[in-house]
Amino acid sequence: MADAVETVPTKGPLIYRQSIFTRVTHWVWAICLFFLLLSGLQIFNAHPSLYIGQQSGFEFDNAILELYAVNTDDGPRGRTRLFGQEFDTTGVLGMSGSADRPAFRGFPAALTIPSFQDLATGRVVHFFFAWLFVLTMFIWFLASFINGHIRRDIVLGPKDIKGIPKDIKDHATLKFHHGRSYGPLQKLSYFGVFFILFPLIILTGLTMSPGMDSAWPWLLDVFGGRQTARTIHFGVMVLLVSFFIIHIIMVLAAGPINELRSMITGWYRASPGTTTNEGEQK
């Protein structure tokens, strides 16, 4: 029995960390964002350029990103022009597909839904999952305000802000504290996603609709025109994809089984010494 007691301190308590609302909205969002990304790239491919301003310039140049194909002495090549810098991106951007049947398109078939060029279907898929995404966000905000998830895990308190330098050091050395509430950097990134990126990608998406612009003309003033809104929409997508990559890396680094279990069953193995009411402010 004495031996058993020796091994116990290496394991912390199992705590109920994620409510049913957090878990269900998490997975619905995962599905939504997957379809939104791939149908969004389909829509982007209908005109694979991004501009700054009120209009897309073809008699003047206000493009910051263009994907296109050019004819060279070695045959057609795919090109990407980003902030005036041109890159050869044959095989991925501008031109992709097999050598005998090349496709001249922005993003390759593997990254769009459907794989072939079909703007109408891309829009059908995009808007369906956009509604599901927004509905899920509404439920998440309501539930998270009521059950304290936002207060406990998303908004940074003075203690969190003071703890940021230490948390950066801990992340750099892959030492994670598994507590009841989220750590400072975790809170910071989720705050950015929920309170900045999600609202921004929804509002810039609405700004692209001429109908919405007549209902809410302020959208055009806030974002500086439909073309700028489209560019911001794309930029936020890039940030969300980056968030996804870091999210997956952190789940793998912090213990994928434990992290996945907490997002499926709600139960989480906390660090030794964690009290079950840690982080609760009543």
Partner 1 sequence: MSRLQLTRRRFLGASAATASSLVLAGCEQFDFLGSRDNEVRNVLEMANTLTYKVQRGLIGQQSLAREYSASEIRQGQRPNGSTDPTTEEYKALVASNFADYQAQDYRHGGAGGQFFAGRITQYAGAKPDYPS
Render the chain in DSSP notation, one character per residue. Answer: -HHHHHHGGGS--EEE-S-HHHHHHHHHHHHHHHHHHHHHHHHHHTS-EEESSSS--SSS--EEEEEEEEEETTEEEEEEEETTEEEE-TTTSSSEE-SSSEE--SS-GGGSSSSS--HHHHHHHHHHHHHHHHHHHHHHHHHHHHHSHIIIIIS--HHHHHHHHHHHHHHHTT-----SSPPHHHHHHHHIIIIIIHHHHHHHHHHT-HHHHHH-THHHHHHTSHHHHHHHHHHHHHHHHHHHHHHHHHHHHH-HHHHHHHHHTSEEEPPTT--TTTT---
Q: Is residue 84 at the binding interface for partner 1, with CB under 8 A as the rule?
A: no
CB of 282 to partner 1, least distance (A): 32
CB of 64 to partner 1, least distance (A): 17
Q: Is residue 242 at the binding interface for partner 1, with CB under 8 A as the rule?
A: no
Q: Is residue 113 at the binding interface for partner 1, with CB under 8 A as the rule?
A: yes
- Kindly tell me which of 130 and 150 has the beta carbon lying closer to partner 1: 130
Q: Is residue 214 at the binding interface for partner 1, with CB under 8 A as the rule?
A: yes
Q: Is residue 247 at the binding interface for partner 1, with CB under 8 A as the rule?
A: no
- Kindly tell me which of 192 and 255 has the beta carbon lying closer to partner 1: 255
Q: Is residue 52 at the binding interface for partner 1, with CB under 8 A as the rule?
A: no
CB of 60 to partner 1, least distance (A): 6
CB of 102 to partner 1, least distance (A): 10
Q: Is residue 104 at the binding interface for partner 1, with CB under 8 A as the rule?
A: yes
Q: Which of 21, 216, 234, 243 binds partner 1 (CB under 8 A)?
A: 216
Contacts with partner 1, residue ranges (CB under 8 A): 34, 38, 48, 54-55, 57-60, 103-105, 109-118, 121, 124-125, 127-128, 130-131, 209-217, 220, 256-257, 260-261, 264-265
